[in-house]
Amino acid sequence: MEPVFIKNYTLPDLESWVESIGEARFRARQLFRQIYNRRIHCWDECSDLSKMFRAQLEFGTHLNASRIVEKQEAADDTAKYLMALHDGQFIETVLIPDPPRCTLCISSQVGCPFRCKFCLTGTLGFKRNLSTAEIVDQVCQVQHDQGTRRRITNIVFMGMGEPLANYASVLRAIRILVDPNGLAFSHRRITLSTAGMVPQLRRLGKESPVNLAISLHASDDALRSELMPINRKYPLSELLSACREYPLPPRKRITFEYILLDGVNDSAKQARELVRVLHGVRAKVNLIPFNPVDAEFPSAYRRPSEERILAFQDVLQRAQLTAIIRQSRGADISAACGQLVAKSSNSGGS
């Protein structure tokens, strides 16, 4: 029998599974709480289960879906974890302390199917989707590693991969993240970022009230299609209609991420165009000055001067659009946006 990865199961799934192996249904909640509230790291730590049940867990299931193989800490306290999965693949997860917050940036795929021009993860190509267990376990493993030192307060799906291209597993992971008997995060503390898969975006709006971020990066179709090939399938008009119709909770806004690329998308004219395309959307803009990718992957793009960055922000602010400049974190360990390739620091390859 194939071993079961227990963190694939939401609480209702676990109830069915527990019954299927002949245990009482209420055991599922007990087990779920042990895994996520008590944060056990091996089945031996499960104290209040019968010996028989423990043996079934021990021999028939995997509690952990990944294992930390390396941790790099940046000067600004950002920590990048390299995680090994059961089939020998690797992913990265980044912890970003920013007191009083502490955000965990998690991956949803090994590699990524979208080849956005400025993003290093895209150069890996797509290897596979992560399972629900592999998504949830990133939170569990980092929490376990941090112990009482740091408590994760926010989760962002902004690591490797496109979360909406792995919709079912990501949504189940969110269910476990927000279950009060599970990891007990509020939806308000979870943000999903997408390159703009419109049908899945519409579905997400109906199924989960997590915060939404859209990687926009250009305000006209010609440039956006060049930077982000997915725009050829779902052009700006379709993406922004879905955003206008998105069922946002009161006072909530959609975050639009906009990488500033020197001389490419950072002119005052393009800023005015951005204001125009976001008209009627409850929006705020995160400007991300481009992070140079690694020397092994020379890039055609550069970070604009401080002056150009501020001038771009100024146009948005004058139009009453909230625009913040997101300072990249962890750049000295290649943990910043678009720099994740699951490469060990000493192996020189992934």
> Which residues are the active-site residues?
92, 337
Distance from chain centroid for Cα 322: 23
How far apart CA 137 and CA 186 sit, in angstroms, is: 18
Window contacting ligand SAH (CB under 6 A); options: 2-10, 33-41, 66-74, 289-297: 289-297
Q: From residue 1 to residue 40, what is the string marking binding to ligand SAH with x (rule CB under 6 A)?
A: ----------------------------------------
**104 lies in the site for ligand SAH, by CB under 6 A:** no
Q: Pick from 15, 23, 134, 162 the residue near ligand SAH by CB under 6 A.
A: 162
- What is the closest distance, in whole angstroms, from the C-beta atom of residue 208 to ligand SAH in the complex? 16
**92 lies in the site for ligand SAH, by CB under 6 A:** no
**111 lies in the site for ligand SAH, by CB under 6 A:** no
- What is the closest distance, in whole angstroms, from the C-beta atom of residue 193 to ligand SAH in the complex? 4
Q: Which is nearer to ligand SAH, 33 or 326 (CB)?
A: 326
Q: Which is nearer to ligand SAH, 119 or 333 (CB)?
A: 119
Q: Pick from 131, 193, 270, 334 the residue near ligand SAH by CB under 6 A.
A: 193
Q: Pick from 90, 118, 167, 312 the residue near ligand SAH by CB under 6 A.
A: 118
**94 lies in the site for ligand SAH, by CB under 6 A:** no
Window contacting ligand SAH (CB under 6 A); options: 130-138, 143-151, 191-199, 236-244: 191-199
Q: Which is nearer to ligand SAH, 259 or 321 (CB)?
A: 259
Q: Which is nearer to ligand SAH, 122 or 182 (CB)?
A: 122
The residue sitting closest to ligand SAH, measured at its beta carbon, is: 338
Q: Which is nearer to ligand SAH, 102 or 120 (CB)?
A: 120
How far apart CA 211 and CA 255 sit, in angstroms, is: 8
Q: Pick from 23, 92, 137, 257 the residue near ligand SAH by CB under 6 A.
A: 257
Question: Which residues are CB-neighbours of 248 under 8 A, at least 6 positions away?
Answer: 254, 282
Q: Which is nearer to ligand SAH, 182 or 289 (CB)?
A: 289
Question: Which residues are CB-neighbours of 339 under 8 A, at least 6 positions away?
Answer: 120, 291, 293, 294, 331
Q: Which is nearer to ligand SAH, 63 or 112 (CB)?
A: 112
Window contacting ligand SAH (CB under 6 A); options: 85-93, 115-123, 166-174, 277-285: 115-123
How far apart CA 253 and CA 250 sit, in angstroms, is: 9
How far apart CA 317 and CA 275 sit, in angstroms, is: 9
Q: Pick from 53, 256, 290, 312 the residue near ligand SAH by CB under 6 A.
A: 290
- What is the closest distance, in whole angstroms, from the C-beta atom of residue 289 to ligand SAH in the complex? 7
How far apart CA 172 and CA 87 sit, in angstroms, is: 21
**195 lies in the site for ligand SAH, by CB under 6 A:** yes
How far apart CA 170 and CA 332 sit, in angstroms, is: 29
Residues near ligand SAH (CB under 6 A) are: 116, 118-119, 158, 162, 193-195, 215, 257, 259, 288, 290-291, 293, 337-338
